[in-house]
Structure formats: structure tokens, C-alpha cells
Amino acid sequence: MTSDVMPSSKVLDSARAWIGTPYRHQASLQHVGTDCLGLLRGVWRALYGAEPEIVPAYSKDWAEPQGDEVLLRAALQYLLPCQAALSAGDVLLFRMREGAIAKHIGICATAGSEPTFIHAYSGHSVTESPLSQPWQRRIAARFAFPLGV
């Protein structure tokens, strides 16, 4: 970990506090409802206070028909790209199928031989899931929360 990256313990404490929050598209209220972006937004608020910008309404397809990498662009604007090996606290962007835009977000909870990640997805509450090989193959990019904003 470099000195310009938020300590993983702070990121994970914030993310794990959301476990059990029901899935609600476009929501970001701990214990009430959230989607994957809402989880990331909630962790951001816990770490820094206000969000860096107002998130406009978005569809469940995340602009996939247009091929618009909206999540990837936002991550590049506000987070730090990861160059080193997978680490706890990394923000993970996933492509749900090859050639598609990145439209799912999670936070790596544990790395190593049995990695896990925290995420919200339709039909489930926020949960910590195994970062299995099928999930690992879908990772489009990894980012870290900056130490300060």
C-alpha cells in the first residue's frame, strides 16, 4: 500500500457496515436499500463526507446499449488505478460478459488464496461473496480510494 491510498481497514469497516442492506436500484441508504453503485457511494461518504458529484438517474443496463463506459470514466476521475496485485480495499469494476461495458462494482474484502468481495446485486442484500474464478475473469479494472480528496 502506498501512502496516497486510504488504509484498507477504513474501507472495509465502511463497506462491511452495509452488509445486509437490501438491494434497491439507484438507492444508497445503509440498512434501507442500495445497489452496487450506492454501496460505493455510501463508502465514499463514510470516508470523505459529501459525494464528489450528484449521480444522475441511471437505468439497470448502465448505458450498455450505447457502449458508454460511464462507471469506468467516473472511477478514473475519482479513484486511483491499482497497479499491484489484488488487495483488500480495492474497488473492482466488472464486465458481466466479454466485450460489454463495466457495469458492476464491488470492494475486495480479502485477497490471497480465497479472495472475497463485498457487493450488492439484484435479488440479494449487500453480501460478502467468494471472488471465484468466474468473477475474477470479469474484472475490468481495479482502483483504490485516495487518502484524501
The reply to whether 43 falls in a domain is yes
Domains in the chain, number = 1
Residue 24, domain extent: 8-144
The pLDDT mean for the chain works out to 92
| Cell numbers that stand for 69 in this block | 463506459
Question: Do the domain assignments include residue 1?
Answer: no
Is 2 within the bounds of a domain? no
pTM: 0.93
In a domain, residue 114? The reply is yes
**Where residue 133 falls among pLDDT bands split at 50, 70, 90?**
very high
Query: Residue 93's closest CA among 49, 42, 40, 57?
Result: 40
Paired strand residues for 129:
117
Nearest-angstrom CA–CA distance, 95 and 97: 5
pLDDT in tens, 51-88: 998 888 887 776 776 778 989 999 999 999 998 899 99
Tens-place pLDDT, residues 18-43: 999 999 999 999 999 999 999 999 99
Distance CA 133, CA 131 (A): 7
Work out the pLDDT band at 2, boundaries 50, 70, 90. Answer: low
- Domain-located, residue 135: yes
Q: Is 3 within the bounds of a domain?
A: no
Q: Is the pLDDT of residue 50 over 70?
A: yes
Let me know if residue 149 belongs to a domain: no
Is 134 part of a structural domain of the chain?
A: yes
Report the CATH number that the domain containing residue 20 is assigned in CATH. Answer: 3.90.1720.10
